[in-house]
Amino acid sequence: MDVDALLLSRLQFAFTIAFHIIFPSFTIGLASYLAVLEGLWLTSRNEVFKTLYLFWLKIFAISFGMGVVTGVVMSYELGANWSVFSAVAAPVIGPLLAFEVLTAFFLEASFLGIMLFGWKKVGPGLHFAATVLVAVGTLISAFWIISANSWMQHPTGFARTAEGGLIAVDWMEVIFSPSFPERLIHMTLAAYLTTALVVGAASAWRLLRRPDEPESGMALRMAIGMFAIVAPLQLVAGDLSGKDVLRLQPAKLAAIEAFWETRSEQAFHIIAWPDGRLEANRWELSIPKVGSLITAGSIDAEVKGLKAFAPEDRPPVGLVFWSFRVMVGLGLAMIGLGAWGAWLCWRGGAERSTWFLRACVAMGPAGFVAVISGWIVAEVGRQPWVIYGVLRTADAVSPVGAGQVSASLLGFLVVYAVIFSVGVLYILRMIAEGPAVGSEEALPEGLRAPGSAMAAAPLDPGQGGAP
Amino acid sequence: MNGLDLPLIWAGIIATAVLLYVLLDGFDLGVGILFPFARTPRDRDVMMDSIAPVWDGNETWLVLGGGGLFAAFPLAYSAILPALYLPVILMLLALILRGVAFEFRIRGRRRGKALWTAAFAGGSLTAAIAQGFILGGFIQGVTLKGSQFAGGPFDWLTPYTVLVAAGLVAGYALLGATWLVWRTETELHGDARRWAGIAAVAVAGLLAAVSFATLFVHPRIAGRWGFANGAFDLAALLPHLPIPLLGLAGLAVVAVGLRRKSHGWPHVGATLVFLSGYAGLAAGFFPHIVPYDMTFRQAANQDNALALMLGGVAILLPVIMGYTIWVYWLFRGKVTPDAGYH
């Protein structure tokens, strides 16, 4: 097998999946947020919610479109670049991916059409149902993808056939592999936090210019609620996931913490420069004994170091170690932002605190960075295995030449760079224009848009009217 | 699920998914292929609005085709995709540019709008060409060693596959044009009628050329149709004869529909033409799933995986079909210029 084609295929898969994950981690949260906004508007008839809904719907449409097209890539790249993996793994995770298409992909794609273009075609009740179905679809999609990934991280419920292939023996064990629940919770919370950070940043940016914009004030308070509740929960979920890693993937844990020797009373390395050839950290800033405490729960606990594994079974240390620290550092910053915001709200003035608003703007992209860092920890940390303990990444690659893979990698780099910069530009431009612009167009004379779903609703609250 | 021929059922499901993809994304790719011929920017907006609510659902059949092949026939999936690596990647890149153009084109100002108009047209055309190479490369046959691909990177590029690609572009243009005849009004409707006529002539010529060339490219297919070793066997041809007749009938429906100014019939005719082409291919290489070395039975996944998925499909596919049809019904009728949400 050509080593270059292997490396290039790994780079290509890492690049395309890291790029793809940006969009689901935003749209999962945003779809739920839209469902909440539309629900609040239908029950309270407060126009602020409708304005916010119409505004974030436009941003959702752009992000969802980019998520769909980059997601289609993944379903073909598995076979194009990782054909051996496909042939080996399909008997076990094939159905999981097929169920994702059947239960989630069609649901999202079909009802998105109604969400975007159905204003004049269906009543408010049905329109709200479409929004909820899209939101549910994004969550179902996460369920299956995380399920397949968790199985690859810790395969259970399968056996080897006489010919050396794999066969599922217990589907429940395949779908609900040991680390799956923790991973799903961790990923879903990450998506909600990512969305809240973007909504918070956009609203804060508006409030710095127009302190009295009611939509931005409302959105900011909703975002603060998410930070304050979800960011601390995420710390707990992350710790539970860490416990799985200690139990199921000790080599990954050793890389995350840059432990080289197996011993009790491991030191906690706040920062370090791990060196794989030296089999040690070149330098480190550490707290003695705390490493064992935070990873295994007690100072006396023995925690395996990287030297307990053969060199060819060790993941790359530096990348995993640093990605983990970026993720956790940003998570702690989110908890801080939530506490600060909650305190300001309690004092009655989060919208007026210039420094808090600036902090919100600065933290806008933090969710994306944290998600990608976490993804690197999970995926690079389980190397050199693509199916942990079953199939090595090097043995999983397609029999294609380096030339073809370089050409395709270059194609993805160019196309993704173009669509990403343009997509971000258009989203930022919309945020700069603010939530009220779209709704003013939709309401020409201060009334509801004629012919829109909203026009069918009564003007006075409390009369019902959803068909 | 004892007693069910699971690989055969799954071959039918995947074949249906691919057929639905070709018919559905076929017309919306065709609309993109016709983009450069529109007279005004406003016509282009209407053309795009006519497919905006449904293109995403249409493309999902492609994901089911790929994901389903991975799940149901993993050996075929892992043999075909490396063999067709470059055209598959080209198709994906083209679909990306074209997919984002739906949102980006509306947001763009002057230069941005022009860029995404070109990306939509170019992406649609490139995706169609790449699919033509994929189809042509597939009919030609794939070099295997064991169950893995063992050929060269450009095996898919031959005069034959170029001909197939041209045929598919013409076919999609016909589907797109008849879709627009059905869904638009005024001048654009008249233009679409003209495009449909031109595309139908091109399809008739290219379909005949591809059919003829296929008999030369693979003797096994020729044998199926009764042309073996220089002799002609009418008994072998007769059971297959309804397939080309269906294609001719489809072309006749298009022609008569266009002449009588029917709005809906030309699209029905174009669909019949595609059905005939598809059935012709299936008759050519069934039961092979990787022509001509691997049958669908050899490529099939474990029975317990196929059974589990069949349970899901039996419940979910009717539901999916149901709400897909409902969405099409909801967005029925002529497209008006205010159809967008932006």
With bands split at pLDDT 50, 70 and 90, how would you rate the model's confidence at A440? very low
Whether A204 contacts A224, CB under 8 Å: no
Q: Judge: B96–A400 Cβ closer than 8 Å, yes or no.
A: no
With bands split at pLDDT 50, 70 and 90, how would you rate the model's confidence at A131? very high
Tell which residue, A245, A249, A274, has the closest CA to residue A259: A274
Q: State how far residue B4 is from chain A, nearest Cα, in angstroms.
A: 18
Q: Judge: B99–A426 Cβ closer than 8 Å, yes or no.
A: no
Which pLDDT belongs to residue A161? 86
Q: How far is CA A89 from the centre of its chain?
A: 24
Look at residue B334 and tell me whether its pLDDT is greater than 90: no
Average pLDDT (B293-314) is 90
Q: Judge: A109–B147 Cβ closer than 8 Å, yes or no.
A: no
* ipTM tops the 0.95 cut: no
What residues form DSSP beta bridges with B288?
Answer: B295
Each residue's pLDDT tens digit, B217-234:
888 888 888 887 777 888
Q: Does B317 touch chain A (CB under 8 A)?
A: yes
Give whole-number Cα distances, B96 to A70, B25, B100, B119, in Å: 7, 14, 6, 10
Q: Does B223 touch chain A (CB under 8 A)?
A: no
Whether A194 contacts A367, CB under 8 Å: yes
Chain B residues close to A106, C-beta within 8 Å: 57, 60, 64, 320, 323-324
Chain A residues close to B54, C-beta within 8 Å: 113
Look at residue A137 and tell me whether its pLDDT is greater than 90: yes
Among A3-12, B247-256, B286-295, name the most confident range.
B247-256
Average pLDDT (B301-309) is 91
Look at residue A299 and tell me whether its pLDDT is greater than 50: yes
Q: How far apart are CA A208 and CA A213, in angstroms?
A: 10
Each residue's pLDDT tens digit, B69-93:
999 999 999 999 999 999 999 999 9
The residue that leads in pLDDT, A441 or B324, is B324
Average pLDDT (A382-397) is 91
Look at residue A447 and tell me whether its pLDDT is greater than 80: no
Chain A 55-114, residues with CB within 8 Å of chain B CB atoms? 57-58, 61-62, 65-66, 68-73, 75-76, 78-80, 83-84, 86-87, 90-92, 94-95, 97-103, 105-107, 109-114
Which pLDDT belongs to residue A464? 34
Instruction: Report the mean per-residue pLDDT for chain A.
Output: 87
Q: Judge: B74–A109 Cβ closer than 8 Å, yes or no.
A: no
Look at residue A458 and tell me whether its pLDDT is greater than 50: no
Look at residue B160 and tell me whether its pLDDT is greater than 80: yes
CB atoms within 10 A of CB B85: 26
Each residue's pLDDT tens digit, A19-44:
999 999 999 999 999 999 999 999 99
The residue that leads in pLDDT, A446 or B63, is B63
Look at residue A465 and tell me whether its pLDDT is greater than 50: no
Instruction: Report the mean per-residue pLDDT for chain B.
Output: 90
Q: How far apart are CA B232 and CA A218, in angstroms?
A: 78
Which pLDDT belongs to residue B339? 67
Which pLDDT belongs to residue B340? 66
Which pLDDT belongs to residue A121? 84
Nearest-by-Cβ selection for A68 from B56, B67, B313: B56
Nearest-by-Cβ selection for B88 from A66, A80, A422: A80
With bands split at pLDDT 50, 70 and 90, how would you rate the model's confidence at B281? confident
Take residue A104 and report the two structure tokens written for it.
């989630």
Average pLDDT (B38-55) is 91
Q: How far apart are CA A197 and CA A341, in angstroms?
A: 12
Q: How far apart are CA A104 and CA B226, in angstroms?
A: 46
Which pLDDT belongs to residue B342? 60
Q: Judge: A79–B340 Cβ closer than 8 Å, yes or no.
A: no
Per the omega criterion (within 30 degrees of 0), is the bond before A467 cis?
no
Which pLDDT belongs to residue B139? 87
Q: How far apart are CA A331 and CA A223, in angstroms?
A: 15
Q: Judge: B100–A423 Cβ closer than 8 Å, yes or no.
A: yes
Question: How long a stretch of residues is chain B?
Answer: 342
Residue of A nearest to B150 (CA): A399
Q: Does B100 touch chain A (CB under 8 A)?
A: yes
Which pLDDT belongs to residue A449? 39
Average pLDDT (A167-195) is 94
Q: How far apart are CA A227 and CA A341, in angstroms?
A: 8
Tell which residue, A106, A176, A113, has the closest CA to residue A141: A106
Tell which residue, B40, B334, B1, B20, has the closest CA to residue B182: B334
Each residue's pLDDT tens digit, B178-222:
999 999 988 899 999 999 999 999 999 999 999 888 888 888 888
Q: How far apart are CA B170 and CA B181, in angstroms?
A: 16
With bands split at pLDDT 50, 70 and 90, how would you rate the model's confidence at B162? very high
Each residue's pLDDT tens digit, B239-257:
888 999 999 999 999 999 9
Chain A residues close to B56, C-beta within 8 Å: 65, 68, 109-110, 112-113
Which pLDDT belongs to residue A230? 94
Average pLDDT (A88-117) is 90
Look at residue A460 and tell me whether its pLDDT is greater than 80: no
Residue A166, helix vs strand vs coil: strand
Look at residue A300 and tell me whether its pLDDT is greater than 90: no
Q: Which of B302, B309, B326, B336 to mutate to test the interface with A (most CBs of A within 10 A)?
A: B302
Which pLDDT belongs to residue A453? 40
Look at residue B291 and tell me whether its pLDDT is greater than 60: yes
What percent of chain A shows pLDDT beyond 70? 93
With bands split at pLDDT 50, 70 and 90, how would you rate the model's confidence at B163? very high
Give whole-number Cα distances, B180 to A173, B43, B112, in Å: 50, 11, 26
At residue A275, φ and ψ (nearest 5 deg) are -125, 110
Among A193-197, A303-307, A429-433, B329-333, name the most confident range.
A193-197
Which pLDDT belongs to residue A420? 92
Whether A453 contacts A120, CB under 8 Å: yes
Q: What is the largest CA-CA distance in chain A?
A: 74
Chain B residues close to A84, C-beta within 8 Å: 78, 148
Q: How far apart are CA A287 and CA B295, in angstroms?
A: 62
Give the CA-trace dihedral at B74, B80, B84, B85, to 10 degrees. Answer: 30
